[in-house]
Amino acid sequence: MRFFSITTIIAVSAIFCHARPTLAQADTAELEEQAIRAAAEAVAPSVVRIETVGGLERIGKALASTGPTTGLVVAEDGYVISSAINFIQQPSSILVTLPSGKRAAAKIVARDQARMLVLLKVATDEKLPVPIAAPRSEMAVGQSAIAMGRTFDKSGPSLSVGVLSALNRIWGRAIQTDAKISPTNYGGPLIDLRGRVIGVLVPLSPQGQESEMAGAEWYDSGIGFAVPLVDINNRLETLKSGKDLKPGLLGVE
């Protein structure tokens, strides 16, 4: 039988105690990665790639973006919501890549000018997968949030992970995240770890400027905004009817 000194036992115990947090941290990181992948896979079929053709080359002094953009399915019969900035150049044609891989023409049905959103109708008989919207009551500052876009690789979306950093921003119209938001994912969803859509990513101005370009200068800054999907769904039938939604006015004439 071998005997060990008290000093040796204490040293070995210290090593094991020190190792436990490291192992726990590794397990937590792995579980978080699995949750992120699972959440993204759940929403990915509802995230579509949008291509615009033609239109204006410049908007004021700025060059109009001509690359692919992102949209989110909001109704199985071909309705897709996206950011208004993606269509500011007034394109002559719009093409949407569906979950099946087919490309179909789309047209703008209506605009929500208060939230800088555009509703598209895709010419297809294919039933599109509609994501689950996260209730406002379950949104909490500090929770994980994943920004998704589909512009570069047609086979899968791009991801940017952050947290929900503020609620009820821009007069209650938007939520804020520190996940990197840019033209690659404008119009795409911000999702939670349960695979539900928190909101649709749009550039908005913290100063409340009402312009399709307002807030674009904030991209990749750690200050990004999304319009809650539950709010969009509440106004969806009005948009489907072809009626634009305009910001309210307050004043005296």
Note the pLDDT of residue 222: 76
For the chain, strand residue ranges (E) read 47-53, 58-59, 62-63, 69-75, 79-83, 93-97, 103-112, 117-122, 144-149, 158-169, 174-177, 189-191, 197-202, 224-228
From residue 37, give the alpha-carbon distance in Å to each of 32, 34, 122, 200.
Answer: 9, 5, 28, 19
For residue 178, pLDDT beyond 60: yes
Question: Burial letters for 95-121: b for 16+ Cβ neighbours within 10 Å, e otherwise?
Answer: bbbbeeeeebebebbbbbbbbbbbbbb
In this structure, the strands spanning 189-191 and 79-83 are unpaired
Q: Which residues of 192-207 are buried (b: 16+ CB within 10 A; e: fewer)?
A: bbebbbbbbbbbbbee
20 is written with which tokens? 């436990």
* E runs forming strands in 150-184: 158-169, 174-177
The helix or strand, by DSSP H or E, that contains position 204, with its residue range, turns out to be none
- End-to-end, the C-alpha distance of the chain in Å comes to 98
Placement of tokens 């690789």 in the chain: 153
Q: What is the pLDDT of residues 142-176, one digit of tens each?
A: 999 999 999 876 678 999 999 999 999 988 999 99
Confidence category of residue 22, pLDDT binned at 50, 70, 90? low
Residue position matching structure tokens 């060059």: 63
200/187 Cα distance (integer angstroms):
6
For tokens 């101005």, name the residue. Answer: 205
- Compute how many other C-beta atoms are within 10 angstroms of the C-beta atom of residue 217: 9
Give the Å distances, CA to CA, from 1 to 4, 5, 19. 10, 13, 27
Binned at pLDDT 50, 70 and 90, residue 210 comes out as: low
What is the predicted pLDDT for the residue at 216? 55
Q: Which residue has the higher pLDDT, 209 or 71?
A: 71
pLDDT, position 7: 45
The confidence score (pLDDT) of residue 208 equals 54
Could you tell me the domains of the chain?
44-122 (2.40.10.10), 136-240 (2.40.10.10)
- pTM flag (> 0.85): no
Which residue in 66, 59, 122, 125 sits closest to 91, CA to CA? 66
The pLDDT value given to residue 151: 85
Q: Which two tokens stand for residue 225?
A: 């905004």
pLDDT digits (tens, 9 = 90+) for 93-130: 999 999 999 999 999 999 999 999 999 999 999 999 99
pLDDT at residue 63 greater than cutoff 70: no
Residue 180 predicted with pLDDT over 70: yes
Q: How far apart are CA 190 and CA 166, in angstroms?
A: 13
